Amino acid sequence: MSDPTPGRMTYREACKQAIRDALNRDPNCFVMGEDVGLYGGCYAVTKGLLEEFGPDRIRDTPLAESVIAGAGIGAAIGGMRPIVEIMTCNFSLLALDQIVNNAATIPHMSGGQFAVPVVIRMATGGGRQLAAQHSHSLEGWYAHIPGIKVLAPGTVEDARYMLAAALDDPNPVLIFEHVVLYNEEGTLDPEVTAVDISSAKVRRPGSDLTILAYGGCLPKALEAAGQLAEAGIDAEVVDLRVLRPLDDATIFASVSRTRRCVIVDEGWRSGSLSAEIAARLADDLFFELDAPIRRVCTREVPIPYPAHLEEAALPQTADIVEAARALARPQ
């Protein structure tokens, strides 16, 4: 069943509603992953769906990511519409061969004879004291790979509606859901019933500088923009949300207008998605910039377990404000 009344819900519930709608819409759609059935999902996203749809549609799997991803890819090639859940993006490294060497390449290596319409959902990011093996942000790695789409919903609306568009795509789609967002609440606009998975979105218009962010850093960017406004700095916040392919048009339009840019990325600074965006801005908008591009990234360490060290390692609102204020000073 669909939402009884579109309204306020948590990010977690939005993800569940999206999955429920997908299962009701297409009998070939099913969910598979570790603990998605009896346990209800490690983040409770699939809680109750086993009772509603049964074990043929909600499939618990062994703790073997290569098997989970490989079986999902095979099912997709065979005409099914699998929603594969990998508990955390750190564990997806055990399925790199299946994702990178199979899902991303089979359509090309087969000359278009085979499509791989698999959707792989995984939790990403730190901030929940889950230690290094459960807290890294690896979506930037996957954004490097041709042949897949990489999504990072940072709002309840995107969590609710991106899945349907991903399932309609004939190519593999990876969806990274940030762990700190699951408990966040938002209000769904009843006029919105779908979102695209090809474009970035301006979440807050501004004229003095652009803040580019996505996923779990989006609320921090918006909070930073609010604090900057109190200081008389009008910051525009652009939600990247589609990490591959990047929406250069929206990014360039914003930075061309504000002429200053801060990129917020929970990935490590070296070889990061923020580095790629900064390079594109330097390549194409060098003469439009009035100040250096600034990046706010995770410290180059494994994510610590202690709360104070984890907070110090991850990008925070104060870091974004500091970077933005430095750019907004007269040059």
Q: Which active-site residues does the annotation give?
A: 65, 134
Q: Which one-letter amino acid corresponds to residue 205?
A: P
CA angle centred on 230, ends 232 and 10, rounded to 5°: 130
Nearest to 69 by CA among 25, 104, 42: 104
Give the integer Cα–Cα distance in Å for 130 and 135: 6
Nearest to 270 by CA among 248, 301, 240, 303: 301
Strand locations in 65-208 (E)? 81-88, 119-124, 149-151, 173-178, 185-187, 201-204
Residue 58 bridge partners (DSSP): 31
Residue 239 bridge partners (DSSP): 201, 213
Structure-block tokens of residue 248: 């250069």
Name every residue whose Cβ is closer than 8 Å to that of residue 134 and which is 6 or more positions away in sequence: 88, 90
Give the integer Cα–Cα distance in Å for 41 and 271: 32
Structure-block tokens of residue 224: 């930073």
Q: How far is CA 8 from CA 81, 165, 216, in A?
A: 29, 22, 19
How far the first Cα of the chain sits from its last, in Å, is 56
Helix, strand, coil fractions of the chain, as percent rounded to 5: 40, 20, 40
Residue 8 DSSP code: E
Give the integer Cα–Cα distance in Å for 175 and 157: 14
Q: Are 145 and 174 in contact (CB under 8 A)?
A: no
Rg of the chain over all Cα atoms, to the nearest angstrom:
20
